[in-house]
Structure 1
């Protein structure tokens, strides 16, 4: 088959009946869609937070009051506002209140240190910060000059009886520091600030696989397009109940769950921390219909003693994203629950999801087919020409959900976008292949690929082979520079508890020799008690590479 198959979009035949081939973003901005959706459902429950119900009408008034409070502090349209909070009703109010007032949300991981926070606030030029009370000390150490900091006690969002069990933290004092409740004293801002579809709505930062994280410009049109694209293939409705434990600061939880759920009139069950016990109990109590997880969580749930409480068959959707779903995890989960996990794919730059497995046609080992409106190519990283179908190349995407670019990074933008067939494509940096049915398969990050004597070696392939060993719990592989061969693979392995001190490097090498070509075999295997993780649970190859390059133990 030739590269013309990419343009023919063979995946279209696997769309459910009635699914459009393309999706255009709605007119207007996010504030308008919030107003329409929330007014239509005023008396219905929007979210549950540890037993307390919040209705759409209640949230809408809170959004309007918070927006009014921000404007009273001096916020102007286009001003950036840092959001340094765990999942909570306050996160929803602040996020949507910032957009209602015409501001731009700069979501920050609550796991970030003061140093990481400082970079994000300074790089974005944020004038304001909404910060959780438990994170105030970190925020104050960041040393960034702000016009105002709004301090949020999450305790106030809990049911009254639960507040008695939570220790109150002293609210900080000082110029420019405001308690959360103070911003709700102003009269509601009745209508959202007018914005255009091309105006900036959010400025999330990438994980920084190389160098410092970069701001990704997400417009109102990007968000509305992404929502419509997701809805066209896996719709939420008023009957949907979504477990919202994925972090809202991350594009996955932010666009798919928080915005997608609320704009669709669904109910969210919100967790500040992803405790597996609470999640499984809530699935039963609230009769969840949609479950969105990450591979590391499915690893936990497959062996969890309470997993049998859940009638997994009644769930409409069981989805995995944010990292590669390993074959062993998917098979063990299906054996335990009877459900196949539908793997998806997306990036911050694609405003969350770009691919998903159709619920009625899941292909194990594939991250699925493009959403309506997405154009996908697999190209040679050097020439940017499409490679033959079935061959590995770099994934390139075009569509209305694709970021307009990186914040103040013109050189990066020049490298990351190219034109072909009259469309503007974004280079994802991921090595994939498309099969003849139009399903896409992930190989590795282009920057993680190891060149051994000129041959490409994919760390993920070695990691998958290691994880197939019944006594290997986790694995990470990186390249070690070597002038004689270019680079050779080194593996870091975490064994199951009962195997530690018993399984040797030679045992694993013998296991790998049966599964990998000789040039793919790691030259070294180092055992660890744990591996560094990113804040969404991926093994952090960047940190492992830094150890190798710096000679750290």
Structure 2
């Protein structure tokens, strides 16, 4: 067991933490009994109590079961942050099914894989995203889409600037298989007994791999409970916690820190559908926000507001996040503004958020943190599996209660994702790092081929696969290029078909990509080439192109990739 970090362990906290032998849904049920009239959600000044939240969840769960959704079955959840996301998430759990959160930036071509891979029969969808999912109804097993308009949960007047998606009125679904959200809730179905336990399937976020095809990371209620509980105890949160939920709920960090953790403690989540720095500052001041999880791009935008210092931010007790390292200069500005050190953590979809968090009293900048409760992390040689020592770089591997069960329908990849050390099963993160004398872990590079754009994981082979749909592209290789704002951005090296050379521009390719894939995957740069480097066996030598790009920008500097 790795114990080097015990000397810097938060004072008064146990090193082991027993997990509840209950489902994640039970957390909502218990909080609703304890704090019935307390706001579980505040949504642009509308308060939704725990009693109201549980009532909506029960009604939707009954409808889901009436549609034939069974125990452990995957249900797609395709929405932006909203009360409906939380209601849908917990309704799926109440129905004993498994949540499959889908990035709302995904386009139809990307959704095809989720529909085929999960064979889900039902999707809960934000109204603004209907056009992307409707073409897939009738594919595989998908036959029903429940559609909601976020503005339906604005029950009280507000002076806050609302995103267009929240202002839009509800439009009745006019396609076969479409069901209006309110129609589903008012159908009058009661759910059966909740039977899911700690070892049943709970949630399956998707994580791409070197093959490019996104892979479902199957989590049980136990592993999902672990990081929600760990965060709450590590940061000493209580039922008085008020969280500003700006990180997306489909992503494991936002899911756990902005939704599942506060529901566990009986806290309040102040939910934003879209990021807006003025609205965020107003909400911190208005609702005395105590904790805010964010990423570097949000913090940079927040601090760049010339009016930020006129807001009362004194209620904040913790600021932190993961996904990408917080630049030191930005961390210093946040500390000057709030008096708080930025607390970074590290985790992946396979660990449903953090395996490592910085001790709040002794955080280190650009650091992944230390292994949290019951987590054993090591550094190993990538090839041999031999364990490394202090300040020696190798692959980060972790053993703990939050580790996933495996990749959905991919037993061989699941086997490759683990290694046995001393009789224990460790997950191979694919990240290169090291730990220092005090047991703090740091990220150095990646074993896997991945681009980290503002915390969003971009898998080059997935982008390449989508780009090959462009009729002018003969060959394509996606690499990363330094970006002063995002840390890394996507660059596509392209060989065009001879007959279209000179008639297609780089910008036209970028414009096409914007229509075909999520915005964070769209190449920021396109470079046309006469050919791409390949081995004698024809294998694409992407590393050659990456090294050339890195050398081209050497000396200019770029942000270190941070915890994911």
Query: Would you say same fold, with TM above 0.5?
Result: yes
Indicate conservation of the 8 Å contact 1:126/1:146, yes or no.
yes
Alignment of 1:227-306 (within 5 A): 227-306=228-307
DSSP-derived class of the 1:69 partner:
helix
**How far is 1:370 from its partner?**
1.1
Q: Deviations over 1:155-194 (max 9, x none)?
A: 2111354699934253223443211112222446477520
1:43 paired to 2:59? no
**How far is 1:196 from its partner?**
2.5
Alignment of 1:12-51 (within 5 A): 12-51=6-45
Question: Matches of 1:365 and 1:66 in 2, distance apart?
Answer: 42
Greater shift, 38-47 or 23-32, is seen at: 23-32
Question: Matches of 1:490 and 1:323 in 2, distance apart?
Answer: 24
**How far is 1:482 from its partner?**
8.3
**How far is 1:281 from its partner?**
1.0
Indicate conservation of the 8 Å contact 1:48/1:267, yes or no.
yes
DSSP-derived class of the 2:91 partner:
helix
Residue 71 of structure 1 aligns with which residue? 65
Question: Matches of 1:16 and 1:380 in 2, distance apart?
Answer: 30
Question: Matches of 1:178 and 1:475 in 2, distance apart?
Answer: 41
Question: Matches of 1:98 and 1:232 in 2, distance apart?
Answer: 26
Kindly tell me: are residues 152 and 492 of structure 1, through their superposed partners in 2, closer, same or farther at Cα, counting changes over 3 Å?
farther
Return the TM-score normalized by structure 2: 0.79
Greater shift, 416-425 or 91-100, is seen at: 416-425
Question: Matches of 1:177 and 1:29 in 2, distance apart?
Answer: 30
Alignment of 1:272-421 (within 5 A): 272-312=273-313, 314-421=315-422
DSSP-derived class of the 2:96 partner:
coil
Indicate conservation of the 8 Å contact 2:83/2:153, yes or no.
yes
Residue 182 of structure 2 aligns with which residue? 181
1:159 paired to 2:158? no
DSSP-derived class of the 1:138 partner:
helix
Match of 2:146 among 147, 150, 171: 150
**How far is 1:195 from its partner?**
1.4
**How far is 1:61 from its partner?**
0.9
Indicate conservation of the 8 Å contact 1:312/1:339, yes or no.
no
**How far is 1:293 from its partner?**
0.5
DSSP-derived class of the 1:447 partner:
coil
Return the TM-score normalized by structure 1: 0.80
Q: Deviations over 1:410-433 (max 9, x none)?
A: 121111011112211000001110
1:88 paired to 2:146? no
Greater shift, 330-339 or 310-319, is seen at: 330-339
Kindly tell me: are residues 312 and 379 of structure 1, through their superposed partners in 2, closer, same or farther at Cα, counting changes over 3 Å?
farther
Indicate conservation of the 8 Å contact 1:475/1:491, yes or no.
no
Match of 1:128 among 117, 122, 143: 122
Kindly tell me: are residues 84 and 396 of structure 1, through their superposed partners in 2, closer, same or farther at Cα, counting changes over 3 Å?
same
Kindly tell me: are residues 39 and 192 of structure 1, through their superposed partners in 2, closer, same or farther at Cα, counting changes over 3 Å?
farther
Kindly tell me: are residues 17 and 211 of structure 1, through their superposed partners in 2, closer, same or farther at Cα, counting changes over 3 Å?
same
Kindly tell me: are residues 474 and 492 of structure 1, through their superposed partners in 2, closer, same or farther at Cα, counting changes over 3 Å?
farther
DSSP-derived class of the 2:167 partner:
coil
Question: Matches of 1:476 and 1:64 in 2, distance apart?
Answer: 43
- What are the ranges of 5 or more consecutive residues in structure 1 without an aligned counterpart? 1-6, 451-464, 494-504, 516-521, 523-530, 532-537, 540-553
Kindly tell me: are residues 311 and 483 of structure 1, through their superposed partners in 2, closer, same or farther at Cα, counting changes over 3 Å?
farther
1:223 paired to 2:217? no
Greater shift, 48-57 or 412-421, is seen at: 412-421
Kindly tell me: are residues 310 and 380 of structure 1, through their superposed partners in 2, closer, same or farther at Cα, counting changes over 3 Å?
farther
Residue 526 of structure 1 aligns with which residue? none
Residue 56 of structure 1 aligns with which residue? 50
**How far is 1:354 from its partner?**
1.1
**How far is 1:138 from its partner?**
0.9
DSSP-derived class of the 1:215 partner:
strand
Question: Matches of 1:112 and 1:466 in 2, distance apart?
Answer: 24
Question: Matches of 2:191 and 2:212 in 1, distance apart?
Answer: 43
Question: Matches of 1:448 and 1:129 in 2, distance apart?
Answer: 31
Greater shift, 473-482 or 417-426, is seen at: 473-482
Greater shift, 67-76 or 166-175, is seen at: 166-175
Q: Deviations over 1:463-522 (max 9, x none)?
A: xx988xxxx5555489996879973624489xxxxxxxxxxx8xx76x55xx9xxxxxx9
Question: Matches of 2:70 and 2:254 in 1, distance apart?
Answer: 27
DSSP-derived class of the 1:489 partner:
helix
Indicate conservation of the 8 Å contact 2:122/2:144, yes or no.
yes
Q: Deviations over 1:188-235 (max 9, x none)?
A: 647752013221111111155650111000111111122222222113
